[in-house]
Amino acid sequence: MHMADALLSPAVGGTMWAATAVTVAYCSRRLRHEADDRRVPLMGVLGAFLFAAQMINFSIPGTGSSGHLGGGLLLAILLGPHAAFLVMASVLIVQALFFADGGLLALGCNIFNLGFFPAFIGYPLYQRLAGEAPGTARAGVAAVIGAVLSLQLGAFAVVLQTVASGISALPLGTFLAFMLPIHLAIGIVEGVVTAAVISFVRAARPGVLPTAVRSGHAVHGMASAFLVVALVLGGVGAWFASKNPDGLEWSVARVTGARELESPQTGIEAALGRLQQRTAILPGYGFRHETARAAEKNEAPNGITNSWGSDRLGKSLAGVVGGSITLALALLVGFALKLRSRWR
Amino acid sequence: MSAPAVITGLLDFRRLDLLATGDSALHRLDARAKVLVTLVFIVCTMSFHRYAVASLIPFFVFPLAVVTAARLPIAFLLRKVALVLPVALVIGLPNPWFDREVLVQLGGLQISGGWISLLSIVLRSLLAAAAAIALVAVTGFPAICGALERMGMPRSLAVQLLFLYRYLAVLGEEAVRMTVAREQRGGGRPLSIRHYGTLVGRLLLRTWDRAERIYLAMCARGFTGDFRSGPPSRLGRPDIAYVAGWCGLFLLLRTHDVTQWLGTAALGVLR
């Protein structure tokens, strides 16, 4: 589920870098406050452990195929969300550099999609559902639900980032219909595997797993999780409701066979476009001038030029909108978590 | 992954890691200069519109120049870079399906936008992967971490990355041993999830004990929370020239369609 550089526009990639940087800064500040020297080597070796565990494949029953562990939820259960997020970030950085998995521009997306959701949404849900001293079955159900939620949100974020970037021609609906069911299956397997590892560890050496779960912790964790889900849904709703031709509608127009998409020359959309063209750092597009000329003559140029022009406009607009939503989300969650730590 | 595949992955990791111990003018540059140039390269190449193909091609000069100047093994690095192709193809292949507007007409051959954007995605993937792998090969992971920390990455993440890097091969080898042992005794039976839980749980407990031993060893040696390295390097004239030269070229290639210009010039000469 790695996001790839090739599918990403710098606007979306940069925004996700910013969101990830904020979360990294927040997590490392939290860890500095709860100084625990023992955790430094533990986090490091657990990162290496995750690599090793991902190398070992298991067979998925009934399909004949094999899979490997994602590990975000497992790390959060072992280390708590803040440390788990940093470990996940480090694993993804090494993967991006040594194995060219994803890439450097997509690093922000990948750390957010695979690190943030399990640590700050899947894990609080798991904690809430599993309770203090869960039996094997209960912990298993909780792990499956936590992993499914994390992976669904992660897959959803991959789709949003791809569509907002506008490099892939996959329309939102098709891409979602493809990604969400697959990641439902992957999430169930991930949850079952996480539960299998946890139940072994609990039986073999109970001391390893953190036991003291304060109920207040879980309640506020849940509150912030629901907040995030609500905001994501709200953001998507707004996206669908939007009348502006963004990257999404552009793709839809493509699919439905509309040959041309009128690029509005008046109103806020055009103003934003002009502002964006004026402030573009790299105004290197030949057809930018053609679009401007067409606007002067108040007639559409040939179909290709027009769709390219609106593509570019829609791409940046969609990127800014989608990116800002996710950034706002990250900040909000950080803020909520901060408030929570103050209340304690 | 079967045992041979795991071993190959681990050996590739080591080999790539060892390349950074080479000695060339590029190896000796400040890591920050190399990280910065790579980031500018990626932003410039990835900011092209979705149908960019010809204008992406001149950018291959950067990874090629780095690999040649640093005397790195090209065949090995190409193999590493080619590993990203399957992913790029899987996500790019729907493009020709959804985007059928004809954009290019070469004689009787009509090429739709989808095929062009698929080609663009493949080129982008190759450029991004080549840049990242070339960066590791001439800089080395610890130096990249140091550079990132000096560029603002929190210390805790830098320490985390260095720890992970140091123990990656150690735990990777444990995973290899476990996989080999299981495959030899299991008679080719696939690993069920329940047994995976036991296997990986055991590996987790061993990791946990290892962390405890590392912690005690670190205490004995007076670990204060960060890794010691030599005195921080300073940006010299070669570093500034490296950054200015490459970034200037990238901006030129990004803002001027050099490919088009060359093509027109060549056609003009032919005519």
Kindly tell me if the per-residue pLDDT of A142 is higher than 90.
Answer: yes
Kindly tell me if the per-residue pLDDT of A291 is higher than 70.
Answer: no
A261 and A253 in contact (C-beta within 8 Å)? Answer: yes
* A207 burial level (CB within 10 Å; 0-12, 13-18, 19+): exposed
Shortest CA gap A213–chain B (Å): 21
B253 and B62 in contact (C-beta within 8 Å)? Answer: no
Shortest CA gap B206–chain A (Å): 10
Residue B59 is predicted with a pLDDT of: 92
Kindly tell me if the per-residue pLDDT of A282 is higher than 60.
Answer: no
Kindly tell me if the per-residue pLDDT of A78 is higher than 80.
Answer: yes
Mean pLDDT, rounded, for B196-208: 91
Query: In 3-state terms, what secondary structure has residue A319?
Result: helix
> For chain A, how far is it from start to end, CA to CA, in angstroms?
37
A4 and A13 in contact (C-beta within 8 Å)? Answer: no
A52 and A23 in contact (C-beta within 8 Å)? Answer: no
pLDDT band at A107 (very low <50, low <70, confident <90, very high): very high
Kindly tell me if the per-residue pLDDT of B212 is higher than 70.
Answer: yes
User: Is B193–A58 a contact, with Cβ atoms under 8 angstroms apart?
Assistant: yes
Which residues 12-31 in chain B show a CB within 8 A of chain A? 13, 16-17
User: Is A38–B135 a contact, with Cβ atoms under 8 angstroms apart?
Assistant: no
Which residues 57-76 in chain B show a CB within 8 A of chain A? none
Residue A125 is predicted with a pLDDT of: 94
Mean pLDDT, rounded, for A298-307: 39
Residue pLDDT, tens place only, A200-248? 988 888 877 775 444 344 445 544 554 554 455 444 444 443 333 333 3
User: Is B208–A208 a contact, with Cβ atoms under 8 angstroms apart?
Assistant: yes
User: Is B117–A169 a contact, with Cβ atoms under 8 angstroms apart?
Assistant: yes
Cα–Cα distance for residue pair A261/A244, rounded to 1 Å: 11
Q: Quick one: what percent of chain B has pLDDT higher than 90?
A: 37
User: Among A1, A97, A189, which would you mutate to test the B interface (most chain B Cβ atoms within 10 Å of its Cβ)?
Assistant: A97
Kindly tell me if the per-residue pLDDT of A163 is higher than 80.
Answer: yes
Residue pLDDT, tens place only, A12-34? 999 999 999 999 999 998 888 87
Residue A155 is predicted with a pLDDT of: 93
How high is the mean pLDDT of chain B? 87
Q: Which residue in chain B is spatially nearest to A285 when comparing CA positions? A: B255
A4 contacts in chain B (CB < 8 Å): 84, 87-88, 91, 125, 128
Mean pLDDT, rounded, for B204-213: 90
A157 and A179 in contact (C-beta within 8 Å)? Answer: no
Q: Which residue in chain B is spatially nearest to A166 when comparing CA positions? A: B50
User: Is A192–B193 a contact, with Cβ atoms under 8 angstroms apart?
Assistant: yes
Kindly tell me if the per-residue pLDDT of A294 is higher than 90.
Answer: no
* B254 reaches A (C-beta below 8 A): yes
How high is the mean pLDDT of chain A? 71
User: Is B50–A200 a contact, with Cβ atoms under 8 angstroms apart?
Assistant: no
Mean pLDDT, rounded, for B184-213: 87
Kindly tell me if the per-residue pLDDT of A316 is higher than 80.
Answer: no
Lowest mean pLDDT among A36-50, A288-302, B137-151, B208-222: A288-302
A-B C-beta contacts closer than 8 Å: 299
Handedness of CA A68, A70, A76, A79 (dihedral sign): positive
User: Is B204–A31 a contact, with Cβ atoms under 8 angstroms apart?
Assistant: no
User: Is B254–A5 a contact, with Cβ atoms under 8 angstroms apart?
Assistant: no
The values of phi and psi at residue B133, to 5°, are -70, -35
Of B38, B88, B101, Cβ closest to residue A6: B88
All residues at 6 or more sequence positions from A3 whose CB lies less than 8 Å from its CB, including other chains: A102, A106, A109, A110, A113, A158, A161, A162
User: Is B17–A28 a contact, with Cβ atoms under 8 angstroms apart?
Assistant: no
Residue pLDDT, tens place only, A114-133? 999 999 999 999 999 988 77
Residue pLDDT, tens place only, B77-124? 999 898 888 888 887 888 888 888 887 777 777 888 888 888 999 999
A189 contacts in chain B (CB < 8 Å): 193
Kindly tell me if the per-residue pLDDT of A323 is higher than 90.
Answer: no
Q: Which residue in chain B is spatially nearest to A313 when comparing CA positions? A: B49
Residue pLDDT, tens place only, B165-197? 989 888 988 888 888 888 888 777 888 888 888
For residue A66, the cross-strand partners are A59
A53 and B176 in contact (C-beta within 8 Å)? Answer: no
Of A69, A162, A282, Cβ closest to residue B47: A282
pLDDT band at B36 (very low <50, low <70, confident <90, very high): very high
User: Among B8, B163, B202, B223, which would you mutate to test the A interface (most chain A Cβ atoms within 10 Å of its Cβ)?
Assistant: B163
Residue A306 is predicted with a pLDDT of: 39
* Closest C-alpha among B245, B156, B257, B177 to residue A36: B156
Kindly tell me if the per-residue pLDDT of A308 is higher than 50.
Answer: no
